[in-house]
Amino acid sequence: MIVAWRKTARFGHAEVFAAIALLSFVVARFAPVLSLPLVCPLRGLAGIPCATCGMTHAFVHLAHGEVARALDASPLGALVAAAAWAYAALDLARAALGAPLPAPSARAARTAAAVGLVALVANWAWLVVREVRS
Protein backbone atom coordinates (compact mmCIF):
# COMPACT_ATOMS: atom_id res chain seq x y z
CA MET A 1 0.00 0.00 0.00
CA ILE A 2 1.43 3.38 -1.02
CA VAL A 3 -0.75 5.59 1.15
CA ALA A 4 -2.68 4.83 4.31
CA TRP A 5 -5.16 7.12 6.02
CA ARG A 6 -4.85 8.02 9.68
CA LYS A 7 -7.12 9.95 11.99
CA THR A 8 -5.17 12.58 13.90
CA ALA A 9 -5.66 15.26 16.48
CA ARG A 10 -6.97 18.52 15.08
CA PHE A 11 -3.61 20.25 15.54
CA GLY A 12 -0.46 18.21 15.14
CA HIS A 13 2.86 18.37 13.32
CA ALA A 14 1.10 18.41 9.96
CA GLU A 15 -0.72 21.58 10.97
CA VAL A 16 2.50 23.15 12.26
CA PHE A 17 4.07 22.61 8.84
CA ALA A 18 0.92 24.01 7.22
CA ALA A 19 1.13 27.08 9.45
CA ILE A 20 4.79 27.58 8.53
CA ALA A 21 3.88 27.34 4.84
CA LEU A 22 1.05 29.80 5.32
CA LEU A 23 3.37 32.18 7.17
CA SER A 24 5.81 31.99 4.26
CA PHE A 25 3.03 33.10 1.90
CA VAL A 26 2.04 36.01 4.15
CA VAL A 27 5.65 37.16 4.46
CA ALA A 28 6.34 36.77 0.75
CA ARG A 29 3.16 38.60 -0.21
CA PHE A 30 3.07 41.44 2.28
CA ALA A 31 6.54 41.95 3.81
CA PRO A 32 9.25 43.90 1.93
CA VAL A 33 11.51 40.86 1.95
CA LEU A 34 13.48 41.73 -1.19
CA SER A 35 14.47 45.12 0.18
CA LEU A 36 16.24 43.58 3.16
CA PRO A 37 20.02 43.89 2.91
CA LEU A 38 20.69 40.16 2.82
CA VAL A 39 23.30 38.47 0.67
CA CYS A 40 23.91 34.75 0.33
CA PRO A 41 27.19 34.12 2.21
CA LEU A 42 28.43 31.62 -0.37
CA ARG A 43 27.68 33.94 -3.28
CA GLY A 44 29.10 36.91 -1.39
CA LEU A 45 32.37 35.24 -0.49
CA ALA A 46 32.95 32.76 -3.34
CA GLY A 47 30.77 34.14 -6.13
CA ILE A 48 28.93 30.81 -6.40
CA PRO A 49 25.18 30.55 -5.82
CA CYS A 50 24.10 28.14 -3.10
CA ALA A 51 21.40 25.52 -3.59
CA THR A 52 18.72 27.80 -2.19
CA CYS A 53 19.81 30.97 -3.98
CA GLY A 54 16.86 32.66 -5.67
CA MET A 55 14.27 30.95 -3.51
CA THR A 56 13.28 34.14 -1.71
CA HIS A 57 12.76 35.83 -5.08
CA ALA A 58 10.82 32.79 -6.31
CA PHE A 59 8.52 32.85 -3.26
CA VAL A 60 7.93 36.61 -3.53
CA HIS A 61 7.29 36.58 -7.29
CA LEU A 62 4.94 33.62 -7.03
CA ALA A 63 3.08 35.23 -4.13
CA HIS A 64 2.49 38.20 -6.45
CA GLY A 65 1.32 35.95 -9.28
CA GLU A 66 4.48 36.37 -11.39
CA VAL A 67 4.99 32.74 -12.35
CA ALA A 68 7.57 33.25 -15.11
CA ARG A 69 9.77 35.48 -12.94
CA ALA A 70 9.48 33.00 -10.08
CA LEU A 71 10.58 30.11 -12.30
CA ASP A 72 13.44 32.22 -13.64
CA ALA A 73 14.68 33.07 -10.15
CA SER A 74 14.68 29.44 -9.02
CA PRO A 75 12.68 26.67 -10.68
CA LEU A 76 12.79 24.52 -7.56
CA GLY A 77 11.90 27.49 -5.37
CA ALA A 78 8.79 28.16 -7.43
CA LEU A 79 7.77 24.51 -7.25
CA VAL A 80 8.43 24.32 -3.50
CA ALA A 81 6.42 27.50 -2.89
CA ALA A 82 3.49 26.25 -4.93
CA ALA A 83 3.59 22.84 -3.25
CA ALA A 84 3.91 24.33 0.25
CA TRP A 85 0.97 26.68 -0.18
CA ALA A 86 -1.18 24.01 -1.78
CA TYR A 87 -0.30 21.69 1.10
CA ALA A 88 -1.18 24.39 3.64
CA ALA A 89 -4.59 25.00 2.07
CA LEU A 90 -5.39 21.30 1.76
CA ASP A 91 -4.22 20.42 5.26
CA LEU A 92 -6.06 23.25 6.95
CA ALA A 93 -9.21 22.23 5.08
CA ARG A 94 -8.61 18.62 6.08
CA ALA A 95 -8.12 19.57 9.72
CA ALA A 96 -11.23 21.76 9.71
CA LEU A 97 -13.31 18.92 8.27
CA GLY A 98 -11.74 16.35 10.58
CA ALA A 99 -10.77 14.17 7.66
CA PRO A 100 -8.03 11.56 8.08
CA LEU A 101 -4.43 12.34 7.23
CA PRO A 102 -2.78 10.52 4.32
CA ALA A 103 0.27 8.65 5.56
CA PRO A 104 2.59 7.57 2.75
CA SER A 105 4.29 4.21 3.07
CA ALA A 106 7.97 4.09 3.94
CA ARG A 107 8.82 3.20 0.35
CA ALA A 108 6.82 6.11 -1.06
CA ALA A 109 8.46 8.47 1.43
CA ARG A 110 11.93 7.20 0.45
CA THR A 111 11.13 7.65 -3.23
CA ALA A 112 9.86 11.18 -2.63
CA ALA A 113 12.99 12.00 -0.63
CA ALA A 114 15.24 10.71 -3.41
CA VAL A 115 13.33 12.68 -6.04
CA GLY A 116 13.59 15.80 -3.88
CA LEU A 117 17.34 15.34 -3.48
CA VAL A 118 17.85 14.90 -7.22
CA ALA A 119 15.69 17.97 -7.90
CA LEU A 120 17.77 20.01 -5.45
CA VAL A 121 21.04 19.00 -7.09
CA ALA A 122 19.62 19.61 -10.58
CA ASN A 123 18.37 23.06 -9.53
CA TRP A 124 21.75 23.90 -8.02
CA ALA A 125 23.57 22.75 -11.16
CA TRP A 126 21.27 24.94 -13.25
CA LEU A 127 21.95 27.97 -11.03
CA VAL A 128 25.71 27.45 -11.13
CA VAL A 129 25.83 26.95 -14.90
CA ARG A 130 23.72 30.06 -15.42
CA GLU A 131 26.04 32.03 -13.12
CA VAL A 132 29.18 30.81 -14.92
CA ARG A 133 27.76 31.58 -18.36
CA SER A 134 26.57 35.07 -17.43
* Footprint of another protein (CB under 8 A): 1, 4-9, 11-17, 20, 23, 37-39, 41-48, 50-51, 100-106, 108-110, 112-114, 116-117, 120-121, 124-125, 128-129, 132
CB of 66 to another protein, least distance (A): 25
CB of 21 to another protein, least distance (A): 11
Nearer to another protein among residue 44 and residue 65 (C-beta) = 44
CB of 48 to another protein, least distance (A): 4
Q: Are 103 and 12 in contact (CB under 8 A)?
A: no
Computed on alpha carbons and rounded to an integer, the radius of gyration of the chain in Å comes to 17
CB of 36 to another protein, least distance (A): 9
Size of the chain, expressed as the number of residues it contains? 134
| DSSP string over 46-105 | HS---TTTTHHHHHHHHHTT-HHHHHHH-HHHHHHHHHHHHHHHHHHHHHHHTPPEEEE-
Nearer to another protein among residue 46 and residue 67 (C-beta) = 46
